[in-house]
A and B are shown apart, each in its own frame.
Chain A
Amino acid sequence: MIRIFWAELSKDLLLAYRRKGDLLNPLLFFVMVVALFPLGVSPAADFLSQLAPGVLWVSALLAALLSLDNLFKADFEDGTLEQLLLSPESTYVIALAKAVAHWLTTGLPLALLAPLLAVMLFLPSHAIPTLVVTLLLGTPTLSLVGAIAAALTVGLKKGGVLISLLVIPLYIPVLIFGASAVQNATQNLPVQAYLAILGAMLALSIVLAPFAIAASLRVSVSS
């Protein structure tokens, strides 16, 4: 079981590494969306520092959302997905490996890039560790929940907008707790409760989401 997890994970990571453009796109998107806010709203430092937690979290969420469409697409089109589902190995583990690979290629880089953008948005420097921790806790949940919607829509021709419609309502709780934690950190208020809830959501989605992903993949492949 661990063997199939590593096999699937390393295959996906290798594929992502070979297509570096796909790897970079969500990050560029993240940077550009963040850059829109000072240009569109106001470049004043005190205003931006208030706005920063929400802007960073929303932009990271949208960047993660954008990359979902490609999560199962290639495997679906060349028939790999069908072979994976036909294999005797557990679909649960394969689904989990795919979601983890997605997180390693989008969520993790987003979280590591966030401090740079936080400085550009004048987020108080004592809040930056909290920002990174919330993104590290929150983005895996986004990958796992998003993978459900990606699996549901992979067989559709017009999946792109539909994915956002399905996923955004499910992302809202993560966004609320992630952004509120950073907001509290800027004012030196305790953040442990928010981090605990983000962790709880992550634990819940690690356990349950692979079931839904596997079931959705079966529906998409059989249709």
Chain B
Amino acid sequence: MVKKQIMPKWFYQMASPKWCYQISGKLLPIFSISALLLLVAGVIWGLLFAPQDYQQGNSFRIIYIHVPSAILAQSIYLTMAIAGGIGIIWKMKIADMVAYACAPIGASMAFIALLTGAIWGKPTWGSWWVWDARLTSMLILLFLYFGVIAMYSAMEKPENAARSVAILSLVGLVNIPIIKYSVDWWNTLHQPATFTLTEKPAMPVEMWLPLLVMVIGFYCFFASAMLLRLRNEILVREKRTSWVKQLVSES
């Protein structure tokens, strides 16, 4: 009996480390070049040409780092948990490696978001840190990343670490909606979301357009950093296979 395939063909091809290595090699330059272009353009546009805020003056410009890194910190966690879920359900090695590649990038994004938030908070709120809902839940997200990284370093066998981390990140997924909606649920100091899919941003076009460029640039940066780590991890874990040996001997 032929087993029915529920997912598209590329999904199953992805399970092959060799195929994945080749495809990611083609995708990597696309993402890294667009990340470079978008980030340079976004930084110059945001820092030099975007208009000043009428209340906050120039200090608001840190938004061009703060918002993208905060969005990324959550998206990367989601990616990690979904990859972990795929790893548990389909026993796919590549998904485990994607989750592994995501963890430190996500942790650094969460850290950058908290750090830039603190720097931004000083001139606008008058303090480096307030215990408000969104800051606290972002801090919890950073702790969750630390837990995941600690788990990876505690387990010796990568297959077991991958499954443990997948369970852990799926349990921690509860936190993502809390971060997302904390600003709407609790009436706190932090301003509401900058971007929503359904409404026009409250900022003028000249301000949010460079921000959008930065957000896309950050996503491209994440994609290229993740693919670099993924390719490295594929080579390390598949070092006994013939195609990796051939690749090493050719280079």
Contact = CB atoms under 8 A, between A and B. Distances in A.
The answer to whether A and B belong to the same complex is yes
A172 B171 contact: no
A215 B144 CA distance: 19
A216 B172 CA distance: 14
B157 A223 contact: yes
Interface string B144-169: 10110011001101001001100110
Interface string A162-176: 100110111011000
How large, as a class, is the contact surface on chain B?
20 to 34
B154 A162 contact: yes
Interface residues of A, number: 23
- How would you classify the secondary structure of chain A's contact residues: helix, strand, loop or mixed? helix
A222 interface: yes
B20 to A, nearest CB: 24
Contact of B167 (A158, A169, A172, A212): A212
A7 to B, nearest CB: 26
A119 interface: no
B171 to A, nearest CB: 6
A165 B150 contact: yes
B143 A223 contact: no
A222 B160 contact: yes
A156 B154 contact: yes
A176 B150 CA distance: 25
**Chain A to chain B: the 6 pairs with minimum beta-carbon distance, closest first:** A169-B143, A223-B160, A166-B147, A219-B163, A169-B144, A169-B140
Given A169-B140, A223-B157, 10 more contacts: A152-B151, A152-B168, A153-B154, A165-B147, A166-B147, A166-B151, A170-B174, A172-B136, A215-B163, A223-B160
